[in-house]
Amino acid sequence: MAVQISRKGFGRLPDGTAVDLFVLDNGRGLQVSVTSYGAIITSVQAPDRNGTRGEVTLGHDSIEPLLARHPYYGAFVGRVANRISDGGFTLAGTRYDVVNNNGGVHLHGGERGFDRFVYEAETEERDDGVFVHFRRTSPDGEEGYPGNLAVRRSVGVTDDMRLVLEFEATTDKTTVVNLTDHTYWNLGEPTIMDHEVQLNADAYVEVTDAIPTGKTPAVDDSPFDFRTYKPVRRDFEDVLKTGANGFDHSWVIKGWDAGDTSRLLEAGRARCAATGREMIVRTTYPAVQFYSGNFLPGQTGRDGSTLTGQEALCMECQYYPDSPNRPEFPSIELRPGAVYNHRTEHEFRTF
């Protein structure tokens, strides 16, 4: 079966706006579902070592729970992913106050981030797969950000077992942008504590209460060393001793060059011995936020069950947290006439 894409209704918003669901299938076991509401990835199914296709994400299969608050299941995150401290930032000499929605901190775009709007959508067939493009313009002042920002999130599936995510933005006024994908991954076990993770990073972004200190220490002799595969649980208790609730940090991807942001580099890998699934993540971004599902307790799973924590992990490719307030970090400033353009790929294999 060739790579194909289908479109169907996914319900309506309270105001009657219709929402669609797009199902992308490569005919080899990789199937991705994404909705025009929030450009949210609702499902990813991939084969195990026996060729049996199964769900590898957390999420919901209907519109109603997505309209309520949820932990960014499959979300398109923006205008700025991760955290911004100090209630805002100064850009070109002007102070901008953004919405603080997480205990005095701005998180994942604010109270109404990019995952809570309906997008215009169109499909495309390429030589290697199928894509759906979601477009919207975020108006000047939305959540406190300057500039009218035209954004595009594209989700694609290829015949060679890759989920492709593309991010593009332009602005009419100098602003800041850091877009990412917040899909939760579980390759086939009750929790991800026995998943093995590898990160292509010699350094990580040090944080205090989830806010960067500005330092990027080496991972040597620390629980943050994932340069070779290791189970998530191996150094988990040592991370808790640092005051964190688990892994929820950005790692500095080796080889990234601010002068050439088009290079696709390996960010990391995850694998599950129980099912033989392996996921390889590549990106043009400078960092990957590895999150071990620390705040999932009390959330609702796909089957309606109540989660207890560590049911899934995230590998969010992006710029560093709090970049607008950290001039020592790679800049996320976007000016009129420039194009923000990044790509992340998730390749699925078995072993």
Question: 120 an active-site residue?
Answer: no
In whole angstroms, give the CA distance from residue 189 to residue 2.
30
Half-sphere exposure of 147 (CA within 13 A, CB side): 21
Question: What are the Cα distances from residue 293, in Å, to 165, 182, 209?
Answer: 22, 11, 16
Residue 239 burial (CB count, 10 A) = 20
Q: Which of 166, 266, 311, 316 is catalytic?
A: 316
Q: Which of 106, 108, 133, 182 is catalytic?
A: 182
What distance lies between CA 125 and its chain's CA centroid? 24
Six-digit token pair at 53?
A: 């296709």
Peptide bond into 79 cis (omega under 30): yes
Question: 316 an active-site residue?
Answer: yes
Question: What are the Cα distances from residue 151, in Å, to 39, 113, 263?
Answer: 11, 13, 21
Spatial CB neighbours of 127, under 8 Å, sequence gap ≥ 6:
none
DSSP letter for 153, please. E
The catalytic residue positions are 182, 316
